[in-house]
Every structure is written in structure tokens, then in C-alpha cells.
Chains A and B, each alone.
Chain A
Amino acid sequence: MITIHHYLGLSALLFTLGLLGLVIRKNLIIMLMCIEVLMNAVNLSFIAIARYLNLMDGHVVSFFVMAVAAAEAAVGLAILVVLFRNRQTLQSSDYHLLRG
């Protein structure tokens, strides 16, 4: 039988995988996609707990998380385009201007 444990465990696993991808990969596009995975893991957690507590608030907060994630993806991709236009590279190891 599926309890809330299964869903929370899946959410934790997805979050960890997104974090792993964010740290391992150097391609900025993949890093942005891993940030989306992080947000989706949190969304799953919200929906599961909403079902568990029989409250609709989790669904509404999930709606907001989706809206914010979409806005953030748009702005992040615009920044990525400008970065690529100026540096011609998308490797995060090539951006070391702030390194002392």
C-alpha cells in the first residue's frame, strides 16, 4: 500500500538527483534544467502532503511554485542567451572572472 512515505521519499530522491545534476554538469542549460527538477520535486511534496492533510492549500502553493519557476526559467534563459552572446561558451568553468 502506498503511504505518504513513498511520495516523500520519491520527492527526496528527485531533489537529490536534481542537486547532483546541478553540481556535476558544467553546461549552463543542463544546470537550469536541473533547477526545474528541484522545483518539481518540491511540487510533488506539496501535492502529496495536501492529499494527506485533505487541504487544498498544497495545490494552490504548487500553482504558485509553477508560476515562479516559469518566470525564473524565462529570465534565466535570457541571461544565458546574453552570456553566450558575449562569451561564446556555456561551460560554467569558463566563467571565472570573480575568481581572486
Chain B
Amino acid sequence: MTETVLFYIFSSITVLMVLLMIFQTNPIASAMFLVFAFFSLAALYVLLQAPFVAMLQIMVYAGAVMVLFIFVIMLLNLHRDELERERFHWKQAGLIAMALAFAGFLINHFVKIPVLPFREVSASFGEVASVGKVLFSDYVIPFELTSILILVAVIGAVLLGKKELE
């Protein structure tokens, strides 16, 4: 019962925040709504007994990626006339209707799949030690490759950010 209420609260917060994020002119406002959406998504992860991934979501997404977004938005220093200058087109209403139809089609397809209810899982499911056990045994090669990927991304970002040499 509690789980049902909490699920509906957090899922509606997430959907509302993503909707608000899409339809904002000011990119800082969009970023703030997205941070809120990430927090409520982390709450959904806790409901799914994934506390480690929930904390990672807050630390990495809300805490690093969105902060980077906000830094870049502030760095660009956009003036009001440089922001989006579009009015409401009927094309947008058509796209929104298409998106709703697509979402309805997907959800309709998913709920027709016969499933069992959630089973009870052990108390150590989703804990840091359990994730670590799987990460460093079955997924150690992708782990090392991810570290190389992040290194490449850092080098690329620094190189792209350099001012051109005269």
C-alpha cells in the first residue's frame, strides 16, 4: 500500500518535471527541473531496492552531469534574444499527439505481457557489496574499458575546449 502510493507520487513527479523541462525557454530552469526529475527517479530506484544505484544517480547525474550543464549554460552567457525564438506551431501539437500515441502503444504492448508479481529478494539485494561482487567478477572487462572511455572523454573535452592557437 505504501509502495503503491510512493510509486505514484514519485512517478508523477518525474513525469511532471520532465514535461516542465521540455517546455521551458530558459535553459537554467530546464536544468533545475531535470535535477528534480533525477532526484525523484533516485527515489524510484530506492523503491526498487537499488540503494547503490540511487545514490550513484544523485551523485553522478544530479551532482556532476547537471552541474556541468549549468556551468556550461552560465559560461555561454546567453542573452534573452539569443534564446529560442519560436512561437507555437501546429506542427508541435502534431508531434505531441504522435508522442502520446507512441507512448500509449508502448504501454499497451507492455501491459499485455503476462508477468508475475515482484518476488521477495534478499536483504543484500542492491547493496554495494552485491553490486561489487558482480561488477568485479563478471563485468571486470567492461569496467576497465569504461575507465579508458572516461579518460578518452576527458582528453577529448579538454582538447575541444582549448582556444585556437593563433
Contacts and interface: CB of A to CB of B under 8 A. Distances in A.
Interface residues of B, number: 81
B139 to A, nearest CB: 5
A7 B45 CA distance: 10
Q: Decide if the interface of chain A is mainly helix, strand, loop or mixed.
A: helix
B60 A66 contact: yes
Interface of B: 3-4, 7, 11, 14-15, 18-19, 21-22, 24, 27, 30-31, 34, 37-38, 41, 44-45, 48-50, 52-53, 56-57, 60-61, 64-65, 68-69, 72-73, 75-76, 78, 82-86, 92, 95-96, 99-100, 102-103, 106-107, 110-111, 113, 115, 117-119, 121, 125-126, 130-131, 133-135, 138-139, 142-143, 146, 149-150, 152-154, 156-157, 160-161
26 contacts: A1-B117, A2-B3, A6-B7, A9-B110, A12-B103, A21-B22, A27-B83, A29-B30, A29-B72, A37-B34, A57-B134, A59-B52, A64-B139, A67-B149, A68-B146, A68-B149, A70-B61, A70-B64, A70-B65, A73-B65, A74-B153, A77-B69, A78-B160, A78-B161, A79-B160, A91-B84
Interface of A: 1-10, 12-21, 23-27, 29-30, 32-34, 36-37, 40, 43-44, 47-48, 50-52, 54, 56-57, 59-64, 66-75, 77-82, 84, 88-91
